[in-house]
Amino acid sequence: MVQILLIRPGTTEYDQQRRVQGTLDIPLCEDGRQEVETLVDALRTQPIAAIYASPCQSADQTAEALAQALDLKVKTLDKLQNLDQGLWQGMLVSDVKSKQPKVYRQFQEQQC
Per-residue pLDDT tens digits of the chain, which is 112 residues long: 888 999 999 999 999 999 999 999 999 999 999 999 999 999 999 999 999 999 999 999 999 999 999 999 999 999 999 999 999 999 999 999 999 999 889 888 887 6
pLDDT at 2: 85
- Pinpoint the alpha helices (H) of the chain: 13-17, 30-43, 57-70, 93-99, 101-111
What domains can you pick out in the chain, each with its CATH number? 13-111 (3.40.50.1240)
pLDDT at 1: 83
pLDDT at 80: 96
Cα–Cα distance between 106 and 112 in angstroms, integer? Answer: 11
pLDDT at 57: 97
DSSP code, position 29: -
pTM score above 0.85: yes
Q: Give the SS3 label for residue 85.
A: coil
